[in-house]
Amino acid sequence: MRRHISLYGLTFSLPLLIWQLLFFVFPLFFLIALSFWTVRNFRMEPGFDTVNWVTMYGRPIFWQAYGTTLALAAAAAVLTSALAFPCAYAIAFKLSPAVQRWAVFLMVIPFFTSYLVRVYSWQVFLSDAGIINVMLGWLGLGPFRLLNTVGATMIGYLTLSLPLVILLQLFSLIFVDRTLIEAAHNMRCGRLRTVFAVVIPSARVGLVIAALFSFILCFGDFVSPIYLGGGDPTTLSILITDTTKSGQQWPRAAVIALTMIATLLVIAFLSVRFAYKGREK
Amino acid sequence: MTQDERGRHLSMSRRTALSLGAAALATPMLSRRAFAAPTQLTMLAWYGHAEPDIVAEFEAENNVKFVPKYYTGGDNMLGLISQSPPGTFDVILSDAEYVQQLNAAGYIEALDPADYPFDEFFPEFHRFPGHWDGDTLYSVITRFGFLGVAYNTDALTEAQASTYDVFWDPALQSKVGHFDWHLPNLGQISLLNGNASPYDIDAAAWDGVKEKTMSLRRQIGGFFDYGGTFSSLNNGQMLAFAGIGDWITGTLEKNGAKVRSVIPEQGGLQFTESFSIGKGSSKAELAKKWIQYITSAKGQAKSAQMAAYPCLIPNEKGWDVLNAENPQEAARQGMVPGQSNAMDMIRSGRIKYRQLPVQQSLEEWNDFWSDYKSA
């Protein structure tokens, strides 16, 4: 019987295993190998040379870009989670099931359009002669520099991750045990205290995973920093394109990419550990 | 022969059917020449060079279909070639400074100068630097342009924009943009620093260029690719731009945007585009025919007005065709013979060739550019 279950399990997990091997494990090993190759006359030469690691880790710009990217992605994850929570909470606890379904549908709609198009359309709002500045002009204010700023990059990050974070938060809030909330109310807990003492701890795993997804998406994003941030400050994704554009330094770009992957793995591990802390008891 | 009505009818019917069948079977054979699938010609080029406004006539006349692969810079172009098997690209468009590297790497075929209309070209373009290795030709110049100060005509006058110092104008803080490529930008700063050969500078001059460039950093509103440069100039987000010229502002100006380019008093840079035949191309004859077409007077006039971005052309007779076809555009670009025109700028020494750095490595210039961007 055990043998049958194992075969059954293997049969159904095999496609996933093959998929992961083909599209994650092998490319990852290739990326590691590539980071030790060298480039001569725009041609990559296989070998084992640590020069790319030494060069990239020895450049202040790399660490500046690393710190900037980390800070921007973390800020985006916190901001997105904070903005998403009231929305997800309202949908989960205040709306009828029918309206909830419509709300979820509306959340999914942004995914039907290209992220690049959505980011480009923000330029129409944020440019000096854009809609926001024109409206501020009617009030005798501005024009303010909105485009090509860190704030504009952050708006792009929110555009990218907010709908997904709301959905993930929503799915975790829906499964919060309602009896706990009623018990809190019976014990004269106010609404705000109930949220912080009962709802958030109960939905902690989903909320942390949602924030993690936001961080992952923003950490590797290239579109918003370029088209809304004007490429300033340099993020790791911009540094990768700069590195490959000049002299075809793909091995150096591999060093940046591997550092990004390692960072995301560590952040994901710590986040999941925090999310499930105390759950195994 | 003595068939009855029915028999004749049947016989005719059979004959008709056979005739129709034979005709149907023969039709593809008879019309194979007329309806043969077009020969595919692969072109590696900047965006726009294999678009219908440029290639449609040649395609129709020669039953050819261009398959373009567009790139966004010389390094990118070399990378694409180095990662492709020999013979992948039949026609290669390259900026002049990269032709030598294409040749050194063995990516392009030697050409016979007699095949191309050099006698119609201005003398300055008969033996363009880098296109020849000794007496062997490797690339044929097809168009060129000048890089200077691009500016918003509502914000700046031509006189104000006629110096690179305008980039440091406090009124333009955060309104100066860079076309995100180190060669043209650093070359312009080198000109501003008074380097007669902007790319052939010693260590002290290079330090001077770096210092001067860094002092511009707080003025910069962004670093833009091709599309971003277009949009930020068009919507007035950037009021002045370094590293570009009429090849971008010309298209915008023709479409009503309030932008222009000017060659400042410190001089301008010349970029040059030329066509080569890819090493190992199985369609070298057709590729040669294309280069002959686009460098002919007719093809040159077409190239000068290319929808993606206009350019100056080296074929003097092409100037005549352009003036006959579109005198307004010829005047706008400064290609009217007998008047003060684009050639005067070259001949007076105001324009320097854009090159790869001579005394420093390309990597050194690029690394500084990355540092500058993140400063």
Total-model pTM: 0.78
Q: What is the identity of the amino acid at B126? A: H
Residues recorded for chain A: 281
Q: Is B250 exposed, middle or buried (0-12, 13-18, 19+ CB in 10 A)?
A: buried
Extract the tokens encoding B65: 């279909």
Predicted confidence band of residue B168 (pLDDT cuts 50, 70, 90): very high
The shortest C-alpha distance from A42 to chain B (Å) reads 6
Secondary structure (H, E, C), A234-258: CCHHHHHHHHHHCCCCHHHHHHHHH
The shortest C-alpha distance from A37 to chain B (Å) reads 15
Residue B258 backbone dihedrals phi, psi, to 5 degrees: -90, 65
Half-sphere exposure of B137 (CA within 13 A, CB side): 19
Given a contact cutoff of 8 angstroms between Cβ atoms, the answer to whether A250 and B76 are in contact is no
The pLDDT of residue A243 is 86
The pLDDT of residue B149 is 97
Given a contact cutoff of 8 angstroms between Cβ atoms, the answer to whether B43 and B93 are in contact is yes
Question: How far apart are alpha carbons A51 and A35 in whole angstroms?
Answer: 9
Question: How far apart are alpha carbons B98 and B73 in whole angstroms?
Answer: 10
Given a contact cutoff of 8 angstroms between Cβ atoms, the answer to whether B66 and B38 are in contact is no
The shortest C-alpha distance from B237 to chain A (Å) reads 6
Predicted confidence band of residue B361 (pLDDT cuts 50, 70, 90): confident
Q: Do the chains contact at B366 and A64, CB–CB below 8 Å? A: no
Q: What is the identity of the amino acid at B363? A: E
Closest C-alpha among B317, B353, B355, B356 to residue B337: B317
Which chain B residues are within 8 Å of A137, Cβ to Cβ?
none
Predicted confidence band of residue B125 (pLDDT cuts 50, 70, 90): very high
Centre a 10 Å sphere on the Cβ of residue B240 and count the other Cβ atoms it contains.
24
Which tens digit of pLDDT belongs to each residue from B131-157?
A: 999 999 999 999 999 999 999 999 999
State whether ipTM is beyond 0.90. no
Q: Do the chains contact at A61 and B75, CB–CB below 8 Å? A: no
Chain A residue at shortest CA distance from B100:
A41
The pLDDT of residue A4 is 59
Tell me whether B344 touches chain A (CB under 8 Å). Answer: no
Predicted confidence band of residue B32 (pLDDT cuts 50, 70, 90): very low
The pLDDT of residue B79 is 82
What letter does residue B339 receive in the DSSP assignment? Answer: S
Which tens digit of pLDDT belongs to each residue from B234-254?
A: 988 899 999 999 889 998 998
Q: Count CB pairs under 8 A between chains A and B.
A: 93
Task: Among B82, B237, B374, select the one facing A147 at the smallest CB separation.
Answer: B237
> To the nearest whole percent, how much of chain B has pLDDT over 70?
91
Q: Do the chains contact at A227 and B228, CB–CB below 8 Å? A: yes
Task: Among A42, A145, A231, select the one facing B78 at the smallest CB separation.
Answer: A42
Tell me whether A245 touches chain B (CB under 8 Å). Answer: yes
Question: Is the bond into A233 cis (omega within 30 degrees of 0)?
Answer: yes
Positions in chain A short of pLDDT 50: 1
Which chain A residues are within 8 Å of B76, Cβ to Cβ?
245
pLDDT at B33 over 60: no
Tell me whether B173 touches chain A (CB under 8 Å). Answer: no
Given a contact cutoff of 8 angstroms between Cβ atoms, the answer to whether B182 and B365 are in contact is yes
Give the containing element (helix H, strand E) for B46: strand B39-46
Q: What is the largest CA-CA distance in chain A?
A: 78
- Which residues between 175 and 234 in chain B have a beta carbon less than 8 angstroms from any beta carbon of chain A? 177, 180, 182, 220-225, 228, 231-232
User: Which stretch of B16-30, B89-103, B192-206 has the lowest confidence by average pLDDT?
Assistant: B16-30
Extract the tokens encoding B21: 């069948």
Residue B297 backbone dihedrals phi, psi, to 5 degrees: -55, -45
Q: Where are the alpha helices (DSSP H) in chain B?
A: 5-30, 32-35, 52-62, 74-82, 96-104, 158-161, 182-192, 203-214, 226-234, 246-254, 284-295, 297-304, 316-325, 327-333, 342-347, 362-374
Given a contact cutoff of 8 angstroms between Cβ atoms, the answer to whether B208 and B267 are in contact is no
Buried b (16+ CB within 10 A) or exposed e, B115-147: ebbbebbeeebeebebbbeeeebbbbbbbbbbb
Tell me whether A110 touches chain B (CB under 8 Å). Answer: no
Extract the tokens encoding A139: 């009030």
The pLDDT of residue B197 is 95
Question: Is the bond into A143 cis (omega within 30 degrees of 0)?
Answer: yes
Which chain B residues are within 8 Å of A241, Cβ to Cβ?
none
Predicted confidence band of residue B14 (pLDDT cuts 50, 70, 90): low
Given a contact cutoff of 8 angstroms between Cβ atoms, the answer to whether B279 and B106 are in contact is yes
Centre a 10 Å sphere on the Cβ of residue B205 and count the other Cβ atoms it contains.
17
Give the containing element (helix H, strand E) for B276: strand B268-277
Give the containing element (helix H, strand E) for B260: strand B259-262
Cα–Cα distances in angstroms (integers) from residue A130 to residues A124, B237, B241, in the given order: 5, 9, 20
Predicted confidence band of residue B337 (pLDDT cuts 50, 70, 90): very high
The pLDDT of residue B278 is 96
Question: How far apart are alpha carbons A169 and B353 in whole angstroms?
Answer: 58
Predicted confidence band of residue B9 (pLDDT cuts 50, 70, 90): very low
Which chain A residues are within 8 Å of B73, Cβ to Cβ?
245
The pLDDT of residue B35 is 59
Which tens digit of pLDDT belongs to each residue from A192-222?
A: 899 999 999 999 999 999 999 999 999 999 9
Q: Is B19 exposed, middle or buried (0-12, 13-18, 19+ CB in 10 A)?
A: exposed
Number of H helices and E strands in chain B, helices first, is 16, 13
Q: Mean pLDDT score of chain B, rounded to an integer?
A: 89
- What's the CA dihedral at A74, A76, A81, A82 to 10 degrees? 110
